[in-house]
Structure formats: C-alpha cells, structure tokens
Amino acid sequence: MTYESHMDETKCWFIHRLVDGTCEITKEPESQGADKTWGPFEAQGEAIARRVGLIRSGHCQPRLNPDVPQPKI
C-alpha cells in the first residue's frame, strides 16, 4: 500500500443533504436522494463537527428524535 492510497482510504467520511433538508454522515461518496454532498473528511469527528456547522449556518436541518419530546414554540 502506498502513502497516497492509505490517505485515500482514511478520507472516507461524507455529509449528504437529503431532500427533507436533514444531513447524514456516511462512508459513501454518493447517496441516492442527496441534493448536496460535502467531503471527504479524514475523520468521523471532523464530519460531525462540519455537520453541526452546516446546521448552524442553515444548510442542513437537525434530525429530530421522535422519542424525545420537542418544545412547543
């Protein structure tokens, strides 16, 4: 394995914005139903941090957990 191929293997995290506006993190460079993709990111933690930034900047909507009561606004 060369250094370059090892680097390609480590950059394996992607963020996909789905049609409902939420973003998911996967190891796949393409996701069916995604209208936008960011990445690759070298570490899962980096992808998570970027997803948080995308949510804060309005590029992604947070995925709500149906088991957690949501505040009424």
pLDDT at residue number 18: 94
The stretches of the chain forming alpha helices (DSSP H) are 3-10, 44-56
Distance CA 20, CA 31 (A): 14
List beta partners, residue 18: 34
- Residue 37: in which H helix or E strand, if any? strand 34-41
Q: Among 71, 25, 67, 69, which Cα is nearest to 47's?
A: 25
pLDDT per residue over 21-69, tens digit each? Answer: 999 999 999 999 899 999 999 999 999 999 999 999 999 998 887 787 7
pLDDT at residue number 65: 78
